[in-house]
A and B are shown apart, each in its own frame.
Chain A
């Protein structure tokens, strides 16, 4: 039996109307992403990758074509149904972390459960949030506020929040854009670990070296796919990190 795709895009188009002008941002993209994949969507600014990302994330509806997420035709849903799909099927990780300030890491992670269509008991929420914080290695920071955490830690909290409703898809928008190179590799390590556990990840980035930690690269230009290939020389975050630490030690010893 064939594996069903998590994402199936069929001739997706998105056109913005600014006054009289028609601006086509995405011009007919077809794409299938299967469970367990780790895909980087790349492209320069204006290539349509953000628009595509918003549509995959059920934040926006295409003006043409169809999009099936986990077998559901998302392109025909209304506002409320889209919200429910985002809540149940998608976990978001943003470039700017987008945590609620003055709210503990724990409460940030619990937030998506508040909007779940099924009522989740307070105890279950806490357990679930703690488990997800454990997955990203932050169990001991549960009651810290975002401003007491480093950038890397904040992004881990965001990842924990994205995981808490057990989504079928983890969607990351430039997740390392605000982080230094070492922390970026650490975050990619978290993603690789989650991917190894079977979670499907789609990530938008414009950094080639970050894309090398994924398994498949899709490159867009002017709203169409120009390249779709598997990553040949894949980097493993753990070994890259130990390389980096060795190099730093060498500098300090010298």
Chain B
């Protein structure tokens, strides 16, 4: 029998008992809706964390200098002067390295415009915005010639701009660090707080050469930021940095540490996975309950329509034709229920997002999974009733009152 005719017959049968069909679908609607709704909200929450992690920069490797030990007292990472600018320049030559910035940090009192502000002054290379995935909102980043010429150029964070130049355009203005005038050449885009609650916008960035030779008189760097070309190459790059620095420092003991963002991300994905298992469990239970509802109603329907089955068989329907007819009916019920559930789940999550100001992500993959599994549940739960119908004896079925 043709599928189109079967669909028409199924549609008519379902329309005949509108209320019953709706209630049967309700199991599917609630199940699928709950899954889609909760997945949307949790994916939204995970996305938020992910964005925060990414705000540190993707595929970023940080090389810290070694710990300083003096008479049994050990300083933390970065306390011993083991990393130099030459190390950073050597790392830049490694394959898969797309950005390097030797980093020098210092807290300084910054003066401008008759105001002053204590902030973190960073010495960085022009690669810094790219490595940190951080746009320059106004003006531009200083350049390599600026680094070579120890230029007195500064790029300031949004917080510093707000504190020192309220209601003014800071571009071209002068700020004084340790009484040295620096020209503001750019303002970084607002980035907000990082995972640890620090205001990332409370910063001034100057060329590392200027920092090391003009502000602080240093010949070492606190750490080196390295960006690998992708998530895949990050470990290769990490190993090569380790080898390179061990060779350069000619030390038996490793006097530096190499860390990457992936470690943070792995912790995150582990949490995500356990959430995924939980959701899958909820989904499975609700879909099974929906499926039982469909099976129940299909069994009732088969009994109720025994005579119709008998008539169809008498005029030449094979058992298979009857099987397909009832399977399509169950499939239609569950697929429509699943579709309504998906729409309801997406709508619900959007509503919660709107009311509670929470981020949501419509999970396209999960919508696909939900639709496919509601269809599969329909076929599975429809199969036994449909098979029962197809095995009826036409004579008995015709006699059924």
Contact A114 B394 (CB under 8 A): no
The dominant DSSP class at the B interface is: helix
Contact A84 B318 (CB under 8 A): yes
Which of the residues B307, B316, B319 comes within 8 Å of A86, measured between beta carbons? Answer: B316
A66 within 8 A of B: no
- What is the CA–CA distance of A116 and B398 in the complex, to the nearest angstrom? 20
Contact B318 A79 (CB under 8 A): yes
Interface string of A96-124 (1 = CB under 8 A from B): 00111011000000011011100100000
Which of the residues A60, A99, A103 comes within 8 Å of B395, measured between beta carbons? Answer: A60
Would A92 and B5 be within 8 Å (CB), given that A60-B395, A102-B12 are in contact?
no
B315 within 8 A of A: yes
Q: Which of B5, B16, B316 has the most CB of A within 10 A?
A: B316
Contact A111 B315 (CB under 8 A): yes
Contact A83 B12 (CB under 8 A): no
**Chain B 386-401 interface residues, beta-carbon cutoff 8 Å to A:** 394-395, 398
List, in ascending order, chain B residues with CB within 8 A of A94's CB: 314, 398
Interface residues on B, range: 20 to 34
List, in ascending order, chain A residues with CB within 8 A of B318's CB: 79-80, 83-84, 115
List, in ascending order, chain B residues with CB within 8 A of A181's CB: none
A88 within 8 A of B: yes
A59 within 8 A of B: yes
B317 within 8 A of A: yes
Contact B314 A59 (CB under 8 A): yes
Contact A119 B317 (CB under 8 A): no
- What is the CA–CA distance of A87 and B317 in the complex, to the nearest angstrom? 7
A13 within 8 A of B: no
Contact A80 B315 (CB under 8 A): no
Q: How far is the CB of A124 from chain B (nearest CB, A)?
A: 13
List, in ascending order, chain A residues with CB within 8 A of B308's CB: 100
- What is the CA–CA distance of A87 and B314 in the complex, to the nearest angstrom? 8
Contact B313 A83 (CB under 8 A): yes
Q: How far is the CB of A194 from chain B (nearest CB, A)?
A: 18
Interface residues on A, range: 20 to 34
Would A83 and B395 be within 8 Å (CB), given that A114-B1, A114-B2, A115-B1 are in contact?
no
Contact B395 A79 (CB under 8 A): no
The residue on B at minimum CB distance from A116 is B316
Contact B311 A83 (CB under 8 A): no
**Chain B 283-328 interface residues, beta-carbon cutoff 8 Å to A:** 307-308, 310-321
- What is the CA–CA distance of A66 and B203 in the complex, to the nearest angstrom? 101
Contact B314 A103 (CB under 8 A): no
The residue on B at minimum CB distance from A97 is B311
A45 within 8 A of B: no
Would A119 and B2 be within 8 Å (CB), given that A98-B311, A100-B308, A111-B315 are in contact?
yes
Q: Which of A80, A112, A115 has the most CB of B within 10 A?
A: A115
The residue on B at minimum CB distance from A92 is B314
A161 within 8 A of B: yes
A54 within 8 A of B: yes
Would A112 and B12 be within 8 Å (CB), given that A60-B395, A80-B320, A94-B398 are in contact?
no
Contact B307 A98 (CB under 8 A): yes
List, in ascending order, chain A residues with CB within 8 A of B16's CB: 102
Contact A115 B395 (CB under 8 A): no
Q: How far is the CB of A48 from chain B (nearest CB, A)?
A: 14
List, in ascending order, chain A residues with CB within 8 A of B1's CB: 114-115
The residue on A at minimum CB distance from B320 is A80
Contact B12 A115 (CB under 8 A): no
Would A115 and B317 be within 8 Å (CB), given that A59-B394, A60-B395, A98-B398 are in contact?
yes
**Chain A 67-103 interface residues, beta-carbon cutoff 8 Å to B:** 79-80, 83-84, 86-88, 92, 94, 98-100, 102-103
Interface string of A156-180 (1 = CB under 8 A from B): 0000010001000000000000000
List, in ascending order, chain A residues with CB within 8 A of B312's CB: 111, 115
Q: Which of A80, A112, A114, A161 has the most CB of B within 10 A?
A: A114
List, in ascending order, chain B residues with CB within 8 A of A116's CB: 316
List, in ascending order, chain B residues with CB within 8 A of A79's CB: 318-319
- What is the CA–CA distance of A196 and B207 in the complex, to the nearest angstrom? 110
The residue on B at minimum CB distance from A94 is B398
List, in ascending order, chain B residues with CB within 8 A of A165's CB: 316
- What is the CA–CA distance of A130 and B394 in the complex, to the nearest angstrom? 27
Q: How far is the CB of B263 from chain A (nearest CB, A)?
A: 63
Interface string of B310-350 (1 = CB under 8 A from A): 11111111111100000000000000000000000000000
Contact B311 A100 (CB under 8 A): yes
Contact A115 B321 (CB under 8 A): yes
Contact A83 B398 (CB under 8 A): no
The residue on A at minimum CB distance from B308 is A100
List, in ascending order, chain B residues with CB within 8 A of A103's CB: 12
Contact A161 B316 (CB under 8 A): no
**A positions within 8 Å CB-CB of B:** 54, 57, 59-60, 79-80, 83-84, 86-88, 92, 94, 98-100, 102-103, 111-112, 114-116, 119, 161, 165
**B positions within 8 Å CB-CB of A:** 1-2, 5, 12, 16, 307-308, 310-321, 394-395, 398
| 11 intermolecular pairs with C-beta atoms under 8 Å apart | A59-B398, A86-B313, A86-B315, A87-B316, A99-B311, A100-B308, A111-B315, A115-B1, A115-B312, A115-B317, A115-B321
